[in-house]
Amino acid sequence: MLDFDLTEEQGLLERSVREWAGREVAPRIRELDRAHRFDPGILPQMADLGLLGISVPTEYGGAGMDYICLGLASEELEYVDTSLRVIMSVHVGLNSLTLLSWGTEEQKQRYLVPQAQGRTIATFGLTEPSAGSDARGIQTVAIRRGDHYELTGEKMWISLADVADNFLVFAWTDLEKKKERDPSGMSAFIVERSFKGFSSGTLTEKWGILAGNTGHFKMDAVEVPTENLVGREGEGFKIAMFALDQGRYTVAAGATGLIRACRDASVRYATQRKAFGVEIGSHQLVKELIAQMESDYQTSRLLWQRAGWLKNQGRRNTRETGLAKWFSTVASERAAGDAVQIHGANGYSDEYPVGRFYRNCKGAVIYEGTREIHKIMQADYLLGYRTDRPTRCELPAWETR
């Protein structure tokens, strides 16, 4: 049976994130954005709300909420600012839910529990200066030396690079396979900031998500204990793709929140601003833009909720999550561009939020699979060039856990 109503818990979560972000962050976000300042004080507040362990089971220190709640929180956070949702994407989506699914019991106790409680912050390091979409092009290597691996390499464009304590890092463990670009030579590791040889920095030339931290980190022969290998040697590429199923889901839901923010700001402005003696909302071409935002918002919401429903059931959702991410991020770019247009010259000023929305939306059309990569994926599913094979570890279904 189809049911589009939120449960009591889901509705409560949606309201509490909306109230918190509206009260604590919305009044300050313009200044944080203009100052290019990430406010670390936001993290303990998100932890208090249970957001940093939202869909992590209570036995691992999380809030034990379902995956629809993860989507709702992402949507509400990005309604206020993309930087808030990015925290959910890397800390929960890409990192913690991967440890929940692929980590050993010891890794869960050591890393997942404090992360879910918000005592440590985590992120995801795949991209490098010379490899983004082409993940097989990474150069980072991990050489086994007795009871540890030695990791050397550089990661780039990493969200929370200068903030996080723990990093899920991907590196080649098989150098022959590296030469052949055979992804079964890649492995995944948990790297702590405190490990000797680790250093990080912030990207200061970034022009969007300015209240968020994005940076790079370097590993100079960092000794990583073998216990920090996630999954088995050679499973790193699969683990990275698995992590993206959860990260992309939060990006899709977040972009949906951004479309709603564009819609609401546009409706407000269109009923206040007058041109040719009437509210600009009376002009049909302005109505068209607003109607498109509503259509994009409702479609995006249905798409991420279907993906969340599949996650709750424990069913594979790579295809559905990818479609949701592709559609909603492209739609958010359309909505943000049109919101600026509706605001006229005022849209071109930071006095109104839509310019910030316009700068923020573009990142999501690039990260976690560019628009082009998602287009190719969807075509390949249809053409029979791509099928999803079961993975050794899966995201635990919500209803059965």
Ligand X SMILES: Cc1cc2nc3c(=O)[nH]c(=O)nc-3n(C[C@H](O)[C@H](O)[C@H](O)COP(=O)(O)OP(=O)(O)OC[C@H]3O[C@@H](n4cnc5c(N)ncnc54)[C@H](O)[C@@H]3O)c2cc1C
Give the SS3 label for residue 252: helix
Half-sphere exposure of 98 (CA within 13 A, CB side): 34
| Nearest-approach distance from CB 338 to ligand X, in angstroms | 22
Q: What are the start-end ranges of the H helices in 35-183? A: 42-48, 67-80, 82-87, 97-102, 105-107, 113-116, 175-180
**Binding flag, residue 84, ligand X (CB under 6 A):** no
Binding residue for ligand X, selected from 88, 90, 361, 395, defined by CB under 6 A: 90
Q: What is the CA radius of gyration of the chain?
A: 21
Active-site annotation holder among 368, 372, 394, 399: 368
| Nearest-approach distance from CB 400 to ligand X, in angstroms | 30
Q: State yes or no: is 368 an active-site residue.
A: yes
Stretch that binds ligand X, among 122-130, 220-228, 230-238, 311-319 (CB under 6 A): 122-130
**Binding flag, residue 38, ligand X (CB under 6 A):** no
| Nearest-approach distance from CB 286 to ligand X, in angstroms | 31
Structure tokens at 13: 């979560």
Stretch that binds ligand X, among 127-135, 267-275, 317-325, 329-337 (CB under 6 A): 127-135
Binding residue for ligand X, selected from 26, 47, 366, 397, defined by CB under 6 A: 366
Stretch that binds ligand X, among 60-68, 71-79, 107-115, 123-131 (CB under 6 A): 123-131
**Do 289 and 340 meet the contact criterion of CB atoms below 8 Å apart?**
no
Binding residue for ligand X, selected from 55, 98, 120, 123, defined by CB under 6 A: 123
One-letter identity of residue 8: E
Nearest to 78, CA basis, from 206, 259, 228, 218: 259
**Binding flag, residue 133, ligand X (CB under 6 A):** yes
Host H or E run for residue 260: helix 236-270
Beta bridge partners of 278: 275
Q: Rounded to an integer, what distance in angstroms lies between the CA atom of residue 56 and that of residue 97?
A: 7
Half-sphere exposure of 90 (CA within 13 A, CB side): 29
In 121-275, beta strands by DSSP E: 122-125, 141-145, 148-159, 166-172, 186-192, 198-202, 214-225, 229-230, 274-275
| Nearest-approach distance from CB 209 to ligand X, in angstroms | 5
| Nearest-approach distance from CB 59 to ligand X, in angstroms | 28
Q: Which is nearer to ligand X, 13 or 32 (CB)?
A: 32
| Nearest-approach distance from CB 136 to ligand X, in angstroms | 11
**According to CB under 6 A, which residues from 138 to 197 bind ligand X?**
157-159
**According to CB under 6 A, which residues from 318 to 357 bind ligand X?**
none
Q: Rounded to an integer, what distance in angstroms lies between the CA atom of residue 145 and that of residue 315?
A: 39
Q: Which is nearer to ligand X, 302 or 373 (CB)?
A: 373
**Binding flag, residue 213, ligand X (CB under 6 A):** no
**Binding flag, residue 209, ligand X (CB under 6 A):** yes
**Do 154 and 128 meet the contact criterion of CB atoms below 8 Å apart?**
yes
Q: Which residues bind ligand X (CB under 6 A)?
A: 90, 123-127, 132-134, 157-159, 209, 214, 363, 366-368, 370, 372-373, 376
Residues serving a catalytic function are 368
